[in-house]
């Protein structure tokens, strides 16, 4: 059974357009509440659900709608306010609640928003639970009687709890004294958290992208727009730069020269460090988009490597299947299951800094022996429901590109899970061949998408 509303990362869309309307979100809260209440394992105890959000102006409206729906279903609601997505996962576990809900569209512009759920264990909801919620959405709302309504409570110390949790993942015998770090919070959910974590561990912190106004999330700042990070690192003569995305689960870093490092490179630094310390505990999970150079580097280090479908939920699923702890995406989602139950940009940055402190190296030195293959990604807009992948012209274009690369590269076409896009990715040793091949395939897709 396919899911009607839930995508790879919850329910997401443009605010004011179905399904991101207050009417639907209230019904979603009610449906989720009814499903979660039936999952409670302590008879007679009221189910509790945590709600956190990023800094989008629409978060106020959607928070109120969710709260109303959950309370109507008899659920007690705990409001955390603006906190990162991984903070909701942590607080849900710490407070022993039945579920956590995040109001965020992650790296998307402020006009979008979304609703995503965490289980009591701080992991994404299982598919069967999402299907049960979708089935409940087909039923009418019937508000509980007054004695059966839930209550709402604000968690005043949510930010402080999460800051201490992040710090606890960094070794107590180490600190960040002597480091000047630029921290870019994308004007998002980490604006009042990230800088304090690194400062309290001893670093001299310059904060940018930390003045949200409800509309500027991810706008020119953060992991998806790191040019301001690069400039700030150079301007302030900083040792390192850290950029997070709007909901705090994605990470990009910069060295002292302003050179940027993506998720593959940062994951490599962490994996290499753990291997050297004898703390690897299995292998590493990447995705179909992970750079081929990373795979070859894992082979050289003797670390098992597997690819999952694109999306942190699929990385997590494969990690759990393999019993491994470390995985991630080149987009900057990095999962360290020995530190947290989900991907966390702040905690991932701390794992990189742990490696650098142990090595006594700069980021450029620690990542310098990973020589990334040129990788070109072109996003082609296509109408929803249009199947370009199965078209003979596209298959021929892909086959031609693979012949040109002659076994020294990869071609990958995949539809976006959150936007009406087909992503065309080509990588290989020769940049010119890679760029030409990607453009030829993208041109074929564009013609089909507009015909």
CATH at residue 432:
3.30.310.50
Three-state DSSP at 217 gives: coil
Q: How many domains does the chain have?
A: 4
**pLDDT tens-digit map of 407-444:** 889 999 988 866 789 999 999 999 999 999 999 999 99
- 253 and 301 assigned to the same domain: no
Is 143 part of a structural domain of the chain? yes
**pLDDT tens-digit map of 129-150:** 999 999 999 999 999 999 999 9
User: Has 399 been annotated as catalytic?
Assistant: no
- 318 and 435 assigned to the same domain: no
What are the DSSP E strand ranges found in 55-191? 76-82, 99-103, 112-119, 152-154, 180-184
CATH number of the domain encompassing residue 199: 3.40.120.10
d(CA 300, CA 220): 38
Mean pLDDT taken over the chain = 95
Task: Point out the domain boundary residue: 314, 346, 367.
Answer: 367
User: Do the beta carbons of residue 224 and residue 185 sit within 8 Å?
Assistant: no
Q: What global pTM score does this model have?
A: 0.92
Q: Which of 106, 119, 341, 437 is catalytic?
A: 106
Q: Show Cβ contacts of residue 85 under 8 Å, excluding neighbours closer than 6 positions.
A: 52, 54, 102, 104, 106, 116, 189, 247, 248, 249, 342
- 384 and 340 assigned to the same domain: no
**pLDDT tens-digit map of 178-212:** 999 999 999 999 999 999 999 999 999 999 999 99
d(CA 269, CA 362): 11
Give me the domain span that covers residue 247: 174-259
- 120 and 15 assigned to the same domain: yes
- 33 and 63 assigned to the same domain: yes
d(CA 364, CA 28): 46
d(CA 107, CA 102): 14
- 289 and 379 assigned to the same domain: no
């Amino acid at each position: 059974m396919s899911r009607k509303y839930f995508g790879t990362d919850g329910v997401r869309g443009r605010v004011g357009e179905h399904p991101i309307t207050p009417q639907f979100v209230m019904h979603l809260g009610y449906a989720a509440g009814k499903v979660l209440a039936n999952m409670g394992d302590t008879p007679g105890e009221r189910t509790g659900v945590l709600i956190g959000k990023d800094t989008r102006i629409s978060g106020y409206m959607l928070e109120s709608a969710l709260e109303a729906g959950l309370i109507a279903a008899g659920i007690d609601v705990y409001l955390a306010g603006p906190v990162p997505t991984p903070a909701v996962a942590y607080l849900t576990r710490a407070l022993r609640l039945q579920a956590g809900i995040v109001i965020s569209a992650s790296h998307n512009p402020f006009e979008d928003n979304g609703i995503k759920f965490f289980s009591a264990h701080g992991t994404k909801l299982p598919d069967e639970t999402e299907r049960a919620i979708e089935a409940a959405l087909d039923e009418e709302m019937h508000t509980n009687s007054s004695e059966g309504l839930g209550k709402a409570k604000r968690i005043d110390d949510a930010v402080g709890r999460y800051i201490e949790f992040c710090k606890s993942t960094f070794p107590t015998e180490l600190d960040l004294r002597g480091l000047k770090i630029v921290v870019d919070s994308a004007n998002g959910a980490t604006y009042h958290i990230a800088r304090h974590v690194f400062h309290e561990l001893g670093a001299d912190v310059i904060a940018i992208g930390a003045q949200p106004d409800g509309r500027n999330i991810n706008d020119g700042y953060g992991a998806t727009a790191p040019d301001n990070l690069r400039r700030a690192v150079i301007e302030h003569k900083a040792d390192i730069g850290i950029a997070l995305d709007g909901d705090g689960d994605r990470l990009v870093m910069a060295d002292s020269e302003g050179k940027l490092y993506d998720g593959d490179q940062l994951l490599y630094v962490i994996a290499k460090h753990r291997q050297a310390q004898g703390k690897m505990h299995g292998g590493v999970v990447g995705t179909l988009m992970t750079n081929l150079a990373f795979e070859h580097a894992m082979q050289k280090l003797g670390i098992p490597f597997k690819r999952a479908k694109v999306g942190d939920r699929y990385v997590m699923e494969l990690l759990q299947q393999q019993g491994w702890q470390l995985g991630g995406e080149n987009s900057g989602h990095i999962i360290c299951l020995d530190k947290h139950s989900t991907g966390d940009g702040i905690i991932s940055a701390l794992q990189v800094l742990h490696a650098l402190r142990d090595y006594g190296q700069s980021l450029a030195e620690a990542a310098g022996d990973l020589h990334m293959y040129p990788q070109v990604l072109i996003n082609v807009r296509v109408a929803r429901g249009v199947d370009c992948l199965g078209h003979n012209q596209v298959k021929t274009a892909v086959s031609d590109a693979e012949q040109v690369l002659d076994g020294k590269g990869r071609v990958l076409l995949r539809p976006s899970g959150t936007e009406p896009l087909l992503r065309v990715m080509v990588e290989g040793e020769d940049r010119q061949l890679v760029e030409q091949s990607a453009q030829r395939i993208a041109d074929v897709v564009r013609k089909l998408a507009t015909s």
